[in-house]
Structure 1
Amino acid sequence: MDNNSNIDSRLKEIKQSFRLQMNGVAAQSMRDKGLDYHVNWGVSLPALKAKAAEIGKDYDLALALWKDNVRECKILATLIMPPAEILPEVVDIWMEQTDNVEIAEQASLNLYQHLPFAAEKAYRWIASESELYQICGYHVLSRLFMRGQEPNERGANEFIDQALAAIQGDSVVLKKAAWSSVLRFADLGDGFRQMAQKAMKSIGVDL
C-alpha cells in the first residue's frame, strides 16, 4: 500500500471514530455561538486529545486532516503536527484557512506556541488587521511569557502598543486574549510590570 492510500484509509478510520462519538447537542450549541463548520460532529476536546495521543505525531497525516473541512479533523491536525517539522509557509497557509475562533485558539495552544519561530509569527500576527490573526498572536505570546521568554525592548514596546489598541477595541474575544497576555507579560518581572501598569493607566485601567 502506498503512502497516499495508507493516509486515505487512516483518514477514513479516524472520521468513522468521530461519527461514533457524535454529539448533536454540542454541535448545535457551537452553531448557536457562531462557530460554523462544513462538518461538526461535536466531539469533545478531551476525546480529540485522547485520539491524538493514540496516533502520535505525524506530519503527513496532519496535513491530510487539515485539508478536510471538518472541525474534528482540523483540531486533530493541530494536535499531531510535529512543531519542529512544519514550515513557516505551511503555518501561513493554515492561518489563511482559519476562519473561526475555536480553530484559532486550538491551533495556538496545541501547535503554534511550540514552533521554533513562534515569537516571530506572534508579533507579526498581533500587528495584523485580522482579528483571528491577532487572537492567535496573543495566545501564543501568553504561553511564551508564561515560559519566561522575555521580549527585547523593541518587542516589548510593540507588544504594549498593539495590546492597548486591542483592549480598547470592540471585540470581546480579542480583548480577553490581549488582556491575558498583558498579565503574563507583567509576570515576567518588575520592569515589565511597571511598563504594563503605566500603559494600562494611560487608558484608565488598573493592572
Structure 2
Amino acid sequence: MEMDINQQVKEIKQSFRLMMDGMVASSMRNKGVEYKLNWGATLPRLKAKADEIGKNYDLAIALWKENVRECKILATMLMPADEILPEVVDIWMEQTDCQEIAEQAAFNLYQYLPFAADRAYTWMASDKELYQLCGFHILSRLFMNKQEPNERGINEFIDQALAALQGDSIMVKKAAMNAMNRFAELGLVYERLAKSALKRANLDFF
C-alpha cells in the first residue's frame, strides 16, 4: 500500500513537469512567494489532475508532506472533507506558511468540513494572519451557501470582522470585507446588522 502511494506521488510529481509554467512561477517569486519547488502549474490544470485521480485520503496525506507548491494544492483537492480528522486539519493549518496555500485549503477543503463553522470562528479570532484569512474565507463560503449563523455567531463574526477591518493586514482586511458582504447578502436583517456595525466603527463600505 505504502509502495503504491509512494509510486503515485512520484508519478504525480513527474506530471508537474508537463504543467510547468515559468511565467507563473517567476511572477510568484517576484511577489515574494517562495516555495522549495514551484512548477508554476495553473489551478485549472491542477483541478483537472485532481478530477482525474479522484478523492484519496492516503494520497492527500502523502502529497501534503512534500514541500512542493503543486503537491500541497493537489492535497487540498484530493482530501475527502468527511474523512479528515480535526487534529489533522489543525496540523495542516500549522504547517501552512503562505497565503496561496491557506486560500486553496479554505476553498478546496475547509469550507466543506462537517466542522467548518467551528474552525472558522476559532481561526478568525486567532492572532495569526493566515488563520484569520482562512476563517473569513470559510465563513464567506458558508454565507454564500445560505448557512445562517446563530445569534452568538453573528456577534462573534461582526466583532472579529470589525477588528480585522481596522487592523494592519491587507489580505485579512480583504477577506473580512468579502465575508461581511456575503453576510449582508443573507437577507435584509443581516444587511442592516452589517451596515449598522460598520457605521458604528466609521467604516462605511456599503
Q: What is the TM-score normalised by the length of structure 1?
A: 0.97
Q: Which amino acid aligns with 1:113?
A: Q
Q: Which residue of 1 aligns with 2:147?
A: 149
**What's the offset of the Cα at 1:34?**
1.7
Q: Which amino acid aligns with 1:105?
A: E
Q: Which residue of 1 aligns with 2:85?
A: 87
Q: Which amino acid aligns with 2:115?
A: F
Question: % of aligned pairs identical?
Answer: 66
Summarize the alignment of residues 53-92 of structure 1 with structure 2, pairs less than 5 Å apart. Answer: 53-92=51-90
Which of 183, 195, 198 is the aligned partner of 2:196? 198
Answering whether residue 6 of structure 2 is matched by residue 8 of structure 1, we say yes
Aligned residues: 205
Note the residue ranges of structure 2 that are not aligned, 5 or more in a row: none
Q: Which residue of 2 aligns with 1:105?
A: 103
Alpha-carbon RMSD: 0.7
| CA offsets 1:9-46 (integer angstroms, 9 cap, x no match) | 11111000001221222111101112111110100000
Alignment partners' CA distance in 2, 1:35 and 1:137: 21
Summarize the alignment of residues 179-190 of structure 1 with structure 2, pairs less than 5 Å apart. Answer: 179-190=177-188
Answering whether residue 179 of structure 2 is matched by residue 176 of structure 1, we say no
Q: Which residue of 1 aligns with 2:126?
A: 128
| CA offsets 1:96-150 (integer angstroms, 9 cap, x no match) | 0000000000000000000000000000000000000000000000000011111
Alignment partners' CA distance in 2, 1:28 and 1:58: 31
Which of 114, 125, 137 is the aligned partner of 1:139? 137
**What's the offset of the Cα at 1:203?**
2.3
**What's the offset of the Cα at 1:204?**
2.1
Moved over 6 A (4+): none
Q: Which residue of 2 aligns with 1:115?
A: 113
Secondary structure of the equivalent of 1:125? Answer: helix
Q: Which amino acid aligns with 2:2?
A: N
Summarize the alignment of residues 24-39 of structure 1 with structure 2, pairs less than 5 Å apart. Answer: 24-39=22-37
Q: Which amino acid aligns with 1:83?
A: A
| CA offsets 1:158-204 (integer angstroms, 9 cap, x no match) | 10000001011111111100000000111111221111101111222
Q: Which amino acid aligns with 1:29?
A: S
Answering whether residue 43 of structure 2 is matched by residue 23 of structure 1, we say no
Q: Which amino acid aligns with 2:95?
A: Q
Q: Which amino acid aligns with 2:69?
A: R
Q: Which amino acid aligns with 2:6?
A: D
Q: Which residue of 1 aligns with 2:165?
A: 167
Note the residue ranges of structure 1 that are not aligned, 5 or more in a row: none
Q: What is the TM-score normalised by the length of structure 2?
A: 0.98
